[in-house]
Homo-oligomer: A and B are copies of this chain.
Amino acid sequence: MQIKPPYLLFLGSGKEPLTIKTSQGIAHWRPELCMGEISEPDGPTLGLEKLSIPEATTRGAKTLVLGLVNSGGSISDDWVPYILKALEAGLDVASGLHNRLSDIPAVLAVAQKNGRMLHDVRHTSEPLKTGNGIKRSGNRILTVGTDCSVGKMYTTLAIEREMKAQGYDADFQATGQTGILIAGRGISIDAVVADFIAGAVERISPDNAADHWDIIEGQGSLFNPAFAGVSLGLLHGAQPDILVMCHEAGRKTIRHLDHQRLPDLKECIEANLQAARVTNPNVRLGGIALNSRMIPPEASAKKCAQLAREFGVPCFDPLINGTKEFVSSL
C-alpha cells in the first residue's frame, strides 16, 4: 500500500466536535506532500491553502486524506458527500478511522466505478506471514517506551528528519494509523492478527543496503498489561540495532490504568534490551527521549543531564532539544 501524494487534507464538516491532530502531523512532517485543506467555512484550519475538490484535482492532487477524529472514531455521515465527490473527481481516499471506507456501500460503489483506491490504514489487507527472525541487511533504530503515548512517533520522525539532514539514507517506517498517513505507507501493527505481529514488522522493514537506516515507530510498552504483546512482537520483528527509550517525565502510572505502576526506567531499558537480543544479539541503547510536557524547561534540562550520565547515552526532549546530538552519536 502506498498513499499517492499530493494530498488534500479534509478537516471536517458538520457540527460535531473533532480533533485534527493527524492532519496536523501530516502537515508538520510532510509539508511537501500537502497541497491544501478543505473544510466548512467556520471549520478548523491548518493555515494551508483552502481548495475545493475541483481546484485540488485540477492542480494534480491525488488523495483526499481523512486525518481527523470525532468522538466515535468512525467516519461521519456528514463526511460522505465529500468522499463521494472526491472519488468522482478522480481522487483516492485515505482514512485513519475505525470503520472501513469500503464498508460504506455508496463509497465502495463509487470507488469501484471510478477505479479509485480506498486506504483504510487501521486495517491491512496485505497477505502476512509469521516472523522468522532471520537477520536482515541494513540498519534499524526502534523507539520503545515506558508506556503508550509518550512520544514514540514524534521521536521517530524527528530522528528521520535529522538523519536526512545529516546525509543519511534513512526512512521512517510507520506502525500506527497516524504514522501511516504521514509516511504514506506502513501497517497498523495492533490491528493485525496476533500470529503475524512480528511477521508484519519484518515486512515493513525488509533487507536493505548496508548503509540504509530504517527508523521504526514503536508501539505500547513491554510493561503495559493491555498491549505488551504488540510491543514484544514489534521488538522481535524490528530486530533493532539501536533502541531509543521514550519516557514521559512525571508519569507515575500506566495510561488509563491507575492501578498499574510505570516501570523504573532502568528496569524497562534492560527488559527491552534482553528481549531484543532474541533477534539481534548486538542491540544497544542509543538514546533516551524525555517527553517534558509536564515539567518546566529547567527541570527537563537537569533530568536529561542526569539520565545521560546514568545511562551513558544522549538524553533529549526532541521537541526542545531536537535530535542532533543523538544522530551525531551514531
Contacts and interface: CB of A to CB of B under 8 A. Distances in A.
Interface of A: 130-134, 189-195, 197-199, 222-223, 225-234, 236-237, 254, 257, 259-260, 271, 274-275, 278-279
Given A195-B230, A230-B195, A271-B274, A132 B190 contact: no
A123 to B, nearest CB: 10
20 contacts: A131-B227, A132-B257, A133-B257, A133-B260, A134-B259, A191-B193, A192-B193, A194-B194, A194-B197, A194-B229, A194-B233, A195-B230, A198-B226, A199-B226, A222-B275, A223-B278, A225-B237, A225-B279, A230-B233, A271-B274
A107 B271 CA distance: 49
A326 to B, nearest CB: 27
B232 A236 contact: no
Contacts of A225: 131-133, 198, 236-237, 278-279
Nearest to A193: B191
Nearest to A267: B274
A94 to B, nearest CB: 21
A160 B274 CA distance: 33
Contact of A195 (B133, B227, B237, B260): B227
B133 A226 contact: yes
Which one of A194, A197, A228 has the highest number of Cβ atoms from chain B below 10 Å of its Cβ?
A: A194
Given A193-B192, A222-B275, A274-B271, A229 B259 contact: no
Contact of A229 (B198, B226, B260): B198
A260 B279 CA distance: 8
A232 B226 CA distance: 10
Nearest to A271: B274
A257 B132 CA distance: 7
A226 to B, nearest CB: 4
Nearest to A234: B229
